[in-house]
Amino acid sequence: MRGKILGNRYRIINRIGEGGMAYVYLAKDEKLGRKVAIKVLHEHMETNADIRKRFQMEAQAVSALDHPNIVKIYDFSGDRSDRLWIVTEVINGENLAQFVSRFHGGWLHPALATCIVREICKALDKAHNTGIVHRDIKPENIMITKQGIVKLMDFGIAKDLGRSSMTVTGTFMGSPSYMSPEQIRGKGVDHRSDIYSLAVLYYEIVTGRLPFSGQTTHDVVMKIMEGHYTYPRFLVPTIPDRLDKIIVKGMTKDKDGRFHSIVDMGRAIDQLLFSFGFVEAHV
């Protein structure tokens, strides 16, 4: 692909990443003279109608979300193109999993973890207000730039609540360890599913472990459905009681028992941040 031009505009420089659905390339926008990232669907998936639909969904979903904590989409190949690709901003940094792995024990100080989670709340607030549920909140989908900006990315399995056709049914989508019980069942998924997943992520980055683990995906799924796990404060006694309660509430098995909205969760986190001496999460 090096040197190839896509859309008569984007010259491929080199490959910088790969996911389950696509390669990611660094490219130069010949018209504007800037570096961009291009996500190109794997060739062997281009004839799969469901996969093509998911790729198109991502382009449509994120293009409507203009927010500093969400990766920006600049261009899309169009669903009728033989090669499907999405052009996004280049993010110079690392994902949250890589960031956390640099710390001893694989966990973050509660104040730092809380600041990061609060920024993710802001991104989800924008998405939810637009009627979009992300459905795949996990450390690998959170980027932290070299400037310290938190960016939510990869809306490949997002669900547009206003358009039922925007989700692919009959498939097990998402990362099992972070999935809510209702998402595993494949029904009743709404913004509270993202709240659950974010609470699981919060748990992981302050304790260094996931609440539900197992040898197989089936083991993990069964534990999530049972809903029994060790509260964070029993793993890390120095975790503030208020932080522990935020995670436990967010991970309530019955979605009606969780925060009613990501805004409510954000408010609870703001109170926690204030106790740490922070006025704003991004500072």
Q: How far is CA 77 from the centre of its chain?
A: 23
Backbone angles phi, psi at 127, to 5 degrees: -65, -50
CB-side exposure of 112: number of CA atoms within 13 Å?
12
Q: Give the H/E segment covering residue 147.
A: none
**For residues 85 and 6, what is the distance between their CA atoms, to the nearest angstrom?**
9
3-state SS assignment for residue 38 = strand
pLDDT score of 35 more than 70? yes
Q: Global pTM?
A: 0.89
Query: Residue 122: what pLDDT?
Result: 97
11 pairs with which residues across the strands? 5, 28
Give the mean pLDDT of the chain: 89
pLDDT score of 123 more than 90? yes
Percentage above 70 pLDDT, the chain: 93
Query: Residue 166: what pLDDT?
Result: 38
Higher pLDDT, 277 or 259: 259
- Active-site residue list: 136
Query: Residue 167: what pLDDT?
Result: 40
pLDDT digits (tens, 9 = 90+) for 178-209: 999 999 998 889 999 999 999 999 999 999 99
Q: How far is CA 69 from the centre of its chain?
A: 11
Query: Residue 199: what pLDDT?
Result: 98
Mean pLDDT of 112-130: 96
